[in-house]
Amino acid sequence: MPLFGLKFGKKKLKEEERHLQANNRDFNLEFEYANNSIKTSKYNFFTFLPLNLFEQFQRIANAYFLFLLILQLIPQVSSLSWFTTVVPLVLVLTVSGVKDAIDDFNRHKSDNHVNNRPVQVLINGRLKDDKWMNIQVGDIIKLENNNFVTADLLLLSSSEPHSLTYIETAELDGETNLKVKQALTVTAELGLDLQKLSDFNGEVKCEAPNNKLDKFTGTLTLHGEKFALDNEKMLLRGCTIRNTEWCFGLVIYAGPDTKLMQNCGKTTFKRTSIDRLMNVLVLVIFAFLALMCFILAIGNGIWEYDTGYYFQVYLPWADGVSSAPYSGFLMFWSYVIILNTVVPISLYVSVEIIRLGNSFYIDWDRKMYYPLNDTPAQARTTTLNEELGQIKYIFSDKTGTLTQNIMAFNKCSINGKSYGEVYDLAGQRTEITEHTEKVDFSYNQLADPKFVFYDHSLVEAVKLDDAATHRFFRLLSLCHTVMPEEKKEGNLVYQAQSPDEGALVTAARNFGFVFRARTPETITVVEMGETKVYELLAILDFNNVRKRMSVIVRSPEGDLTLYCKGADTIVYELLDSSCGPLKDETMEHLNEFAGEGLRTLVLAYKNLPEDYFEEWHQRHHEASTALDGREEKLSELYEEIEKDLMLLGATAIEDKLQDGVPQTIETLAKAHIKIWVLTGDKQETAVNIGYSCNMLHDDMKDVFIIEGNTSEAVLDELRSARKKMKPDSFLDSDEINIKFENPSTKSRILPEEQANGVYGLVINGHSLAYALEGNMELELVRTACMCKVVICCRVTPLQKAQVVELVKKYKKAVTLAIGDGANDVSMIKTAHIGVGISGQEGMQAVLSSDFSFAQFRYLQRLLLVHGRWSYIRMCKFLRYFFYKNFAFTLVHFWYGFFSGFSAQTVYDQWFITLYNLVYTSLPVLGMSLFDQDVDDRWSMQFPHLYEPGQQNLYFNKIEFVKCVLHGTYSSLILFFIPYGAMYDTVRSDGKAIADYQSFALMAQTCLLIVVSVQIGLDTAYWTAVNQFFIWGSLSVYFAIIFTMYSDGMYLIFTASFPFIGTARNTLSQPNVWLAIFLSIILCVLPVVGGRFLKAQLMPTVSDKVLRKIRAAKKRPPPPLPKTRLRRTSTRRSGYAFSHQHGFGALIMSGRNMRPKLPFTTTGTFSPNSEKNRHK
């Protein structure tokens, strides 16, 4: 086993090319390729203790307290008992260690769950059940329908015709539409024959492991012949096998070498900005402590030289001290021990407790609980809570995060009439709710029970045999590339390349036009109970330029018809001039649909003359078999026949957003949080969602599209966008230009730049690849950060992480990444805060996240309520903690000047031990766990309250300096007022009370009451717990001092309790209480006055909002009318085809068809046939 989990010895050479042989483990083991086991854990049983302690002592404060403990064990310099340091130090190390152990145990569980998944591997001609982690490069494995792909495989053969395999890649790129992979013909012949597969000894040479999901190059050598390999023949880990009974694959990359794991990024130790600031401040405090100790040590040396040397009979020097300088040297270390309370170890204990408590609030929040799948919110990391209150940039996935990944047929326009809205008896449009009556499709036995529609008039139009309506749904049932699956009679399942197509074909199915089956030459449709078989003559396939697809079919009656559907802007150019009035009516409906964020599509048809089609079909055949310019020739033929179309209408599909997404984005935008969407989806799909989410809107000055195919083109597009937003940014006098012209500048942080309006930016994945290179990244981050919304589409998982890293590098801002799939893991790990949505794409994102919940809308509550409260509480805690400890510790410093710099403590040793652990710990914890300036309702209603956290206004270096000055001022009052009150003072009976013990008691009583009053001033939200902690702590103090300073305690433990009778003698004097009262007034009055004047003369954003809230509480506003959130837009949304180019040709070739499909060859099943009619 490697020592501490670290491997020593020969460093593995970087792999340049992969060379492997199928079914030959001995050959492949020579190359030391990684096996299929993955490891995300940090420790094992033996390495946990040494590694964890090593990590913990890298924290400066822990190392400092260990050093203090060693000092306290040296008698010559020890001025306090060793247990005052060792007990809290062990407590801190134990709490942190247990937390780390639990986190790592969960990682081990996750790793074991994945590594122990079962898989069938081919060994010696037999299939053997094995675990994922035992799979080696070069193994041949068998996968079945709905299996996860074990490793990156070369597809050898499958159950489907021509060895096609259907996969879902949602884990990789967020797309749920099926993709098709096809094996080489030479390996497809292996089929299911285990002997042939065992004898297969092909050699593969391919590229080294990399993170490019869409590229693969290699060669297969078999029987002396070479065959080219590309990405279309690869099954990647993270995919799921669909609609394929079985397939065999050859393992090319395993475990950490797979493209999924290469895209996952490294797990980094995340620390909050406050943690990093505290490390800096601790170093500053150490320097301040050393300065104070040095001053006091010099003072001791001078005093011993001038005075103490002559008083050795009365005050003898300690053993071994022979000179004043050596005495000063020892006093330096003694004062280090006494003054160490400027950084007490209880600070770190308290911080951990506060973070843990605020994490529990997230876990317990019932308003973030999702009852549909019984998912509560979860704080998976307890160290980042306050960072949630400082988020400036949110990076969000689209599919499954903003959307439900469900397409719904929402509305349509047929022959100039709009369907989909619901009207009441008065003819007024009503909002659709869960109580609205749904259309009953029970009359149609083949209807999809999940399909929901509310407008009954459309069903009536279908039942009345309206010709236009029938033709509309006939088009939807014929013009598509959907594959039907009917394993049981009447139980239809559609496998669509695009979820849009699935929604449209399902709509036609429910309205009585059921797409039942297809062969390469026919399409079978059940029309209103009557089965019809259409002859499929041509599919005019979709591509990104055409933005439409058409089919040419011959009906059973012999009619030739071209049916076309596509983006409205394209299809409108192809319509016949006679469609004028209908075009205008349909356009109004299109604008209305697009205004609601729906994805629109225009439908048209054309009757074809037989003789023209025969001639065109001959030319089409010639073009499709041409060797040169095939695509151009086909495109010209498509353009020729798709002319003079007759308009049928339009469809409107809703890419269903998760509940509350537009409102959440709107609220977060008001809090000045910038939202970037990083998605693997197509540009058009992503932009549509941008509009429907209210991220993009027509009020924006411009939405820039970056889609250059070269580095120069991308640079020009970015610069022209920046020039439009801020022309001054190109001047030599621009601050950023000056900064980056000077190469000696160390800081890469860019200041915020304001654009001259509201802009959006959309950038494609291939353009982003250029923009992330070298000097281009600065141009990208400057341009993008000026925009209110940025959408990156067709991006790989690694590009998502690179974009987040770019913003972290150049902007002094806290970032949050949110996603729900394995393709979001690297982004979630890279951002300061990672949020996982437990959604439809598995649990990988949740397992890698810091916080998780079920719905995107909970993000606003996580940030605006929990995040903001956590940040405010932590800042208040730190300000108060540093204040009370400086006030406590500096009294020792002033006392040194009056005690011969002898390292004598002002306070009783028991008070020093209990001050941070008992007397002041609970009140500050009470405030840090329960305090809130406003409740959750007002926090959500006034998002502007979030801004101070983004600007880090509540705790920074300036605030720390204020705490030090405040503590220094209080320490002066707390030393000199008691000192003056005690100086030459006598009791009412004439006895003197000016002794050390009475002064110590008076000083510590003043201190405790002052810090208790101060926490009362800092507390904004009073609870019974706060009251109990503050009054209880004071009561405990007085109970303890009267007990410890009693005669009985002195008689039992004489050496430990020397302050006999001090409490009752001192606290019975009126002048002592007068001095205490005076100290309180002098300490508190400047604070109260300063806060009042600041709120009146220089109010912050929070002060202004709090005034509004106080006014609103006095006059509660009337309830806002419930309005349906609509987006008014003139922008039309093109149909977002997601299926692969060329899929139509695949259907026509018949290569993806099974030889026989049940219930599809007779064409006689009808819901209205005798045997299916209800009796």
Give catalytic residue positions: 397
- Pair type for strands 164-168 and 140-144: unpaired
**Distance between CA atoms of residues 534 and 523, nearest Å:** 5
In total, the chain counts a number of residues equal to: 1175
In the numeric block, which tokens belong to residue 1002? 């008076």
**Distance between CA atoms of residues 448 and 441, nearest Å:** 9
Query: Which one, of 710, 741, 808, lies nearest residue 718 by Cα?
Result: 710
Residues in contact with 519: Cβ distance below 8 Å, sequence separation at least 6, in sequence order: 1150, 1153, 1160
CB atoms within 10 A of CB 284: 14
Q: What is the phi/psi pair of residue 426, to 5°?
A: -85, 0
Residues in contact with 273: Cβ distance below 8 Å, sequence separation at least 6, in sequence order: 387, 390, 814, 952
Q: What is the phi/psi pair of residue 759, to 5°?
A: -130, 160
Query: Which one, of 1015, 1004, 995, lies nearest residue 1079 by Cα?
Result: 1004
Contact yes or no for 858/663 (Cβ under 8 A): no
Per DSSP, the residues of 852-865 read: EES-TTHHHHIIII
Q: What is the phi/psi pair of residue 169, to 5°?
A: -110, 25
- The CA–CA distances, whole Å, from 1065 to 910, 981, 991, 1041 equal 19, 15, 11, 12
**Distance between CA atoms of residues 208 and 215, nearest Å:** 12
Within 13 A of 989's CA, how many CA atoms are on the CB side? 6
Contact yes or no for 689/639 (Cβ under 8 A): no
Contact yes or no for 178/243 (Cβ under 8 A): yes
**Distance between CA atoms of residues 175 and 82, nearest Å:** 62
In the numeric block, which tokens belong to residue 409? 């047929």
From the centroid of its chain, how far is CA 337? 44
Strand boundaries in 608-711, DSSP class E: 646-657, 674-678, 702-706
Q: What angle do CA 44, 46, 48 make, to 5 degrees?
A: 60
- Pair type for strands 851-853 and 814-819: unpaired
Q: Check residue 423 and report its DSSP letter.
A: E
- Pair type for strands 225-229 and 164-168: unpaired
From the centroid of its chain, how far is CA 554? 52
- Pair type for strands 513-518 and 522-527: antiparallel
Print burial letters for 907-930: b (CB count within 10 Å at least 16), e (below 16). bbeebbbbbbbebbbbbbbbbbbb
In the numeric block, which tokens belong to residue 1035? 């009561």
The arrangement of strands across the sheet holding 218-222 comes to 17-21, 203-207, 218-222, 225-229
Per DSSP, the residues of 912-942 read: HHHIIIIITHHHHHHHHHH--SS-HHHHHH-
Q: Cβ-count burial of 269 within 10 angstroms (0-12 exposed, 13-18 middle, 19+ buried)?
A: exposed
Contact yes or no for 842/833 (Cβ under 8 A): no
